[in-house]
Structure 1
Amino acid sequence: MAGKVSVMVPYRWRSGWGVSAGLFVAVFVLVPATFAVQNAWKVPVPQTISFARIEPIATSYWLSWALTLAALLTPALVLSLLPVARSIALGYLLTTTMVGAVLCGATVAMAFTGLAAV
């Protein structure tokens, strides 16, 4: 009678962990972190005069959003170096980017229409 041969299959982590972490970071960290960066840099908040006319918006306003989102995507870069965690990195990257872009757009739209809590 032949014995059983045990083959070890490398365990891969699932992307659900990355999606969960990305959702948490995008919803609870991105907007407050961006506001903190804007306060530290003393970035002027865009002012709307009417729907037809919008004052020019400082470049530092757009940079604060872009750099904060880029900084929060660095864990995906670090995780992608580990072969076991690449699916987590992909889930984190996609979720944080998509949800972060929607939240950035919504927050900027509220600032343009005067609905922002300043």
Structure 2
Amino acid sequence: MAAAGPVWDGKVTRVEQVRWRAGWGVGLGVFVAVFVLVPATFAVQDAWQVPVPRPVAFAELEPIATAFWLSWAATLAVLLIPAVVLALLPPARLLALGYLLATTAVGTVLCATTVGLAFSGLDPV
């Protein structure tokens, strides 16, 4: 006699976990780098009272305060903390990787551009 429906074999089927995609992390990382990094760095520089380097000719570069470079590095490091936290969750590891790579890459380009503008005298501050 045939069974009327599916036969239960005793195995528990588990629902597949939904994995977050890296694209969401890339989008979030670009957003944070573009709209948060530079204003946050300027806020840190104001709070630490970091002297802004004065524009000079390339041959006459003067030493720049260490706090100026630390403000950029510290702000970028703080903005990368969400990637570390998300990496602890297995379904969000791709999201964390996308966020980490996008924030680091775009943030580094923005930092270099903004510092270059500060040296050339086109600083927005």
Q: Is TM > 0.5 for Structure 1 vs Structure 2?
A: yes
In 2, the alpha carbon distance for the partners of 1:7 and 1:36 equals 48
1:73 is displaced (CA, Å) by 0.2
- The one of 42, 53, 60 equivalent to 1:46 is 53
Match for 1:3 among 6, 10, 24?
A: 6
From the CA coordinates, give the structure whose radius of gyration is larger: 2
Q: 1:33 aligns with which of 33, 40, 48?
A: 40
Residue 101 of structure 1 aligns to which amino acid in structure 2?
Answer: T
State the shift of 1:11 in Å.
Answer: 1.7
Contact 2:56 2:119 in 1 (8 A): no
Q: TM-score, normalised by structure 2?
A: 0.87
Deviation at 1:51, TM superposition (A): 2.5
Structure 2 CA distance, aligned partners of 1:9 and 1:22? 27
Once the two structures are superposed, the pairs formed by residues 56-71 of structure 1 within 5 Å of their partners are: 56-71=63-78
Structure 1: which 5+ residue stretches go unaligned?
Answer: none
Name the Cα RMSD after superposition.
Answer: 1.7
Residue 72 of structure 1 is matched in structure 2 by: 79
Which aligned runs of 4 or more in structure 1 are off by greater than 4 angstroms? 4-7
Between 1:92-101 and 1:14-23, the stretch displaced more is 14-23
Q: TM-score normalized by structure 1?
A: 0.92
Assess if the C-alpha contact under 8 Å between 1:47 and 1:54 holds in 2: no
Q: Residue 108 of structure 1: CA displacement?
A: 0.4
Q: What amino acid sits opposite 2:107 in the alignment?
A: G
1:49 to partner: Cα distance: 2.5
Give the superposition deviation at 1:4.
8.5
Q: 1:91 aligns with which of 72, 93, 98?
A: 98
